[in-house]
Structure 1
Amino acid sequence: MPNVKTTGKKSSNTLVRDLVNVGIFAALYFVLAFASSSIGYIPALIIFSTGSISLVTSIPLFLFFLKIDRPIFCCLLFSGFFGCVMLMMGQSLLMLPIFVAVGVLTGFCLKISHKSFWGLFSANVSMSLLSSSMMLPLWLSTEEYLAYASSMSDEGYVAQMAELANSYWPLVAIFAFGILGAVVGAFIARRVMKKHFERIGLA
């Protein structure tokens, strides 16, 4: 019986720790993603903004992945938190199932790989789909997205966004640069964490 109680207490402690980590790193991810996506306010640079987000957020995501004990549950909460924030900011409801799918996929990458580097690598690439997916409504529900954009931007910006929606190549580029940023960011994260985080016991 004592062993059962100890196991239950340990499980409860790890759950609390996981929830705290989700809250901290989700908030950090949102701040970094928002800051690094600012180049997207120039329409010509929108396709590069997802690469910028993936690159900047790779190190904190690697650290987050290493700290959680329930990868599928935690990644689902993480992407769900981000999705809820974007919904409150006026994004389309279409994004909710996408965010859920990204969270589950990322969690499976970690669970199957037992948090090896390639597992972290694939999870980081998977999580890059969060920022890239935010632009999907511009092509899938153009009028609704442009109305959303017009509430925050001037007419010139909205007109340039409408021009982007005339072709699917910018959307392909948005996802491609997001994945490229995650790939480069993953190798940078591995180098930084090996040099610094392991030394101070954070990873």
Structure 2
Amino acid sequence: MEKNKLQAKDLINVGIFTAIYFILFFAGMMLGYIPIFIPLLGLVCPIICGIPFMLYLTKVKKFGMVTLSGIILGLLNMLIGSGVLVLIFGIVFGVAADLIMKSGKYKSWKFTLLGNGVFSLWIMGFVSRMFLTRTEFFDSLVSSYGQEYVDTLMSYTPGWMFPVLFVVTFLGGILGALLGKAVLKKHFEKAGIV
């Protein structure tokens, strides 16, 4: 049973790879300064983060590692002002992804691919504020970005876009996983993920 518990080495991997993921995610989020890119962040960010996250998943062999990444990403984004939804989504989709990958014993490519798509949905916690707390969210942007930016962003994000963005973000996670696996083929073979 002891081998199923998270060890110091596992926690170091969680810390290192989650930090790399966050830095790349944050860089991708900079595209949000251009309103047209906001709806595309769910597609772009998981692709950008795909390579390091796939490398991380070759080292994940125990339940809880992906969950911890989701929690840390949620907390970091909450601390920089992204609201509490991003933490809730980080927990929910971190646990869901962990459960999916665990059901493939962390060795199945099919479950790893699906797990990464699901994990990427934590990003929707960031985006959800535009739809679930619409008035407050857009009011808060006016002072920083100006009314023109806010009006443009509102026009790009009508209510029907909310479910579409879940699908787009999931697809971003799938594409990021495929890119990561292609780049890290040797690592996947070494980790025995088939």
TM-score by length of 2: 0.85
* Unmatched runs of 5 consecutive residues or more in structure 2: none
Shift of 1:117: 0.3
Larger-Rg structure? 1
Residues 151 and 63 of structure 1: CA distance in aligned 2, closer, same or farther (over 3 Å)? farther
User: Within 2, Cα distance between the matches of 1:110 and 1:68?
Assistant: 9
User: Within 1, Cα distance between the matches of 2:143 and 2:62?
Assistant: 39
Q: Paired residue for 2:27?
A: 35
Q: Deviations over 1:118-160 (max 9, x none)?
A: 1110111011101233110111011222244335423321222
Decide whether the 8 Å contact of 2:58 with 2:191 is kept in 1. no
Match of 1:197 among 176, 187, 192: 187
Q: Paired residue for 1:123?
A: 115
User: Within 1, Cα distance between the matches of 2:104 and 2:191?
Assistant: 20
Decide whether the 8 Å contact of 1:22 with 1:74 is kept in 2. yes
Q: Paired residue for 1:69?
A: 61
Shift of 1:190: 2.0
Taking the TM superposition and a 5 Å limit, the aligned residue runs for 1:22-101 are 22-71=14-63, 73-101=64-92
Would you say how many aligned residue pairs link Structure 1 and Structure 2? 191
Whichever residue aligns with residue 105 of structure 1, its letter is A
Residues 1:173 and 2:155 aligned together: no
Q: Paired residue for 1:3?
A: none
Residues 185 and 91 of structure 1: CA distance in aligned 2, closer, same or farther (over 3 Å)? closer
Residues 19 and 47 of structure 1: CA distance in aligned 2, closer, same or farther (over 3 Å)? same
Shift of 1:94: 2.9
Match of 1:105 among 96, 100, 105: 96
User: Within 2, Cα distance between the matches of 1:95 and 1:181?
Assistant: 18
Q: Paired residue for 1:141?
A: 133
Residues 1:21 and 2:25 aligned together: no
* Unmatched runs of 5 consecutive residues or more in structure 1: 1-6
Shift of 1:16: 0.5
Q: Paired residue for 1:4?
A: none
Shift of 1:58: 1.5
Shift of 1:197: 3.0
Larger CA deviation: 144-153 vs 56-65: 144-153
Larger CA deviation: 131-140 vs 142-151: 142-151
3-state DSSP of counterpart to 1:89:
helix
3-state DSSP of counterpart to 2:58:
helix
Shift of 1:202: 7.4
Large movers: runs of 4+ above 4 Å: none
TM-score by length of 1: 0.82
Q: Paired residue for 1:182?
A: 173
